[in-house]
Structure 1
Amino acid sequence: MATGFPRKAPPDWPGLLATLAECVTHLGTQRFDDPLIALLRQGVGIEQCILFAYSGRDTMESLLVDNPRYPKVAGRLAGLYAGGLFRQDPNYPRLRQLLEASTEQASAELMPMPTEDMSPAYRSNLFAFPDLADKVSVVIPAGATVYYLNLYRDLGRGPFRPLDLARLEALMPLLASLIRRHYRQARPAALPASHEEAEVLAPLSARERQLCLSLLRGHTLKTAAAELDIALSTAETYRKRAYAKLGVRSKARLVALCRKG
């Protein structure tokens, strides 16, 4: 999609090649998330990343939630949005339009934050968290799914500048290809969640939910890593992120939270 952004500052491709190689190496595996986030940080400069999948029956699922400084707040944001507030997003009509078109290889679209079109209730629910300065979204059609990549900047770094958006626009074909290929190849979650578990784990990414469900089913971290075919260090990272978002510090507290939920 043509945006009219200046094109004088393409990404530092040589500096991104190693990270890009990591993304390609881990396509379809549980280790894909970290190099994708690193690619976005290096290429655009972000503090928070949330990736959603919008699909049939008007449902939204969070696939990736990352904010090292405020993981619990980011998880809450993702949970609220996927829980139904996405229908108040000014970009929602476009997401529906692209889903109904069912185009597999349509070009990704760049959408700056439509502040003037947000209702006060929507903005207070989804944007009243520490240090938010700006958000930009990349919409990636993929047939029966539309991927919705949301990238955030904080007050320290400041809003996205036109040159930042130009850099992101230059990266968009690559990002669209990586995300489509990864989630086409990724193993589906094999562990169904109860209604109570689903509500409690809603703020987590798909990978973090899988790990927590494994732990809830009696796995140790080591056996959960083996079950999910990921490195133990990766499982530790997912557990740390999940516990931070849920506000728990142990497996026992996770079990208690899900039983209470």
Structure 2
Amino acid sequence: MGSAAVEPGDSSSVLAPMVLAIGRPSFSQVLMDTVRAVAGVGHCMVFALETERTARCALGIGHIDIGPDLGAAYSEHFHLSDPNREAILRQRAAPRPIVLPSFARRMYSDSYRKIFFEDAEIVDKIAAAIWVDSACFYVNFYRTAEQGRFSRNEAARLCNMAPAITAIVARHCQEEVVAEAPTKLHTLFSTREPFLKLTGREKDVCLRILSGYGSEAIAADLGISLHSTFTYRKRAYEKLNISSQNELFAIALRLMALPRSAH
């Protein structure tokens, strides 16, 4: 199998294409190519957990035909019965990725096993998660019946690289918030709490922060002083009850994940 060529010492070169693909349409395929090379992964799904009661499928790729159905089912209600849920919530304050407990079918309810393991023919999985402020990115790597379970070496390689892969996936999902649509961001800032609390200039600064502008670039783009830029940012963060750029990203992620009818 192609994964045998990947050794732990090769991780930097193996992950480099993923880093370069962050924020680009090719990211999903590059991710799949990477985990297939590392451990023969057959399907990958990423869920964004923005609150304790909501989840959305942020990414799904591989050769499970009903993958989109699985993503929808998990997002609608199965995330509440996921046996990894408690372990994920306990790590909310952890600043680093975590690899979840080993897979065992008995951990799951009958209805969960029916759709995810019998209908989808999933026979094994390895999962990891990382919290970025109030949002958690939960990355699942699956093997199907046709492939068989992960070998001991494949599992070891994937578990070794899963934290770095998960962090890269989280950054890509954050980048997608911006790439998904400046117009959508503008709509959120003009129609949704908590952004309605901000003045026009405070919104201008926050929108540019989300678009990747540094402080000096924001000042130049808006034609204001660097001191004014810092002041508007500070005031905006105080009104939003946040203290960092990552928290601003988390708010935008959460609002973009809401159903269209809720906007």
Shift in Å at residue 83 of structure 1? 0.7
Q: Percent identity among equivalent residues?
A: 23
Partner of 1:38: 33
Is residue 128–residue 140 contact of structure 2 (8 Å, CA) maintained in 1?
Answer: yes
1:160 aligns with 2:150: yes
Partner of 2:108: 118
1:150 to 132, 140, 157: 140
Shift in Å at residue 170 of structure 1? 1.6
Distance in 2 between residues matched to 1:165 and 1:140, nearest whole Å? 19
1:182 aligns with 2:172: yes
TM norm structure 2: 0.60
Distance in 1 between residues matched to 2:11 and 2:147, nearest whole Å? 20
Partner of 1:53: 48
TM norm structure 1: 0.60
SS at match of 2:159: helix
2:90 to 87, 91, 97: 97
SS at match of 1:150: strand
Output the aligned Cα RMSD: 2.6
Is residue 89–residue 118 contact of structure 1 (8 Å, CA) maintained in 2?
Answer: yes
Distance in 2 between residues matched to 1:129 and 1:15, nearest whole Å? 36
Partner of 2:7: 12
More helix by share: 2
Is residue 52–residue 60 contact of structure 1 (8 Å, CA) maintained in 2?
Answer: yes
Distance in 2 between residues matched to 1:183 and 1:77, nearest whole Å? 19
Equivalent residue letter for 1:125: I
Shift in Å at residue 161 of structure 1? 2.5
Partner of 1:25: 20
Higher RCO (Cα < 8 Å, 6 or more apart): 1
SS at match of 2:106: helix
**Gap runs ≥5 in structure 1:** 1-8, 193-261
CA displacement 1:215-251 (0-9 Å, x = unmatched): xxxxxxxxxxxxxxxxxxxxxxxxxxxxxxxxxxxxx
Distance in 2 between residues matched to 1:19 and 1:31, nearest whole Å? 16
Shift in Å at residue 48 of structure 1? 1.1
Shift in Å at residue 143 of structure 1? 2.2
SS at match of 1:28: coil
**Gap runs ≥5 in structure 2:** 185-263
Structure 1 pair 90–10 and aligned structure 2 pair: CA distance change class (3 A): farther
Structure 1 pair 55–126 and aligned structure 2 pair: CA distance change class (3 A): same
Is residue 108–residue 141 contact of structure 1 (8 Å, CA) maintained in 2?
Answer: no
Distance in 2 between residues matched to 1:35 and 1:21, nearest whole Å? 10
Is residue 46–residue 137 contact of structure 2 (8 Å, CA) maintained in 1?
Answer: yes
CA displacement 1:183-233 (0-9 Å, x = unmatched): 2333443377xxxxxxxxxxxxxxxxxxxxxxxxxxxxxxxxxxxxxxxxx
Distance in 2 between residues matched to 1:151 and 1:31, nearest whole Å? 18
Q: Which has the larger radius of gyration?
A: 2
SS at match of 2:100: strand
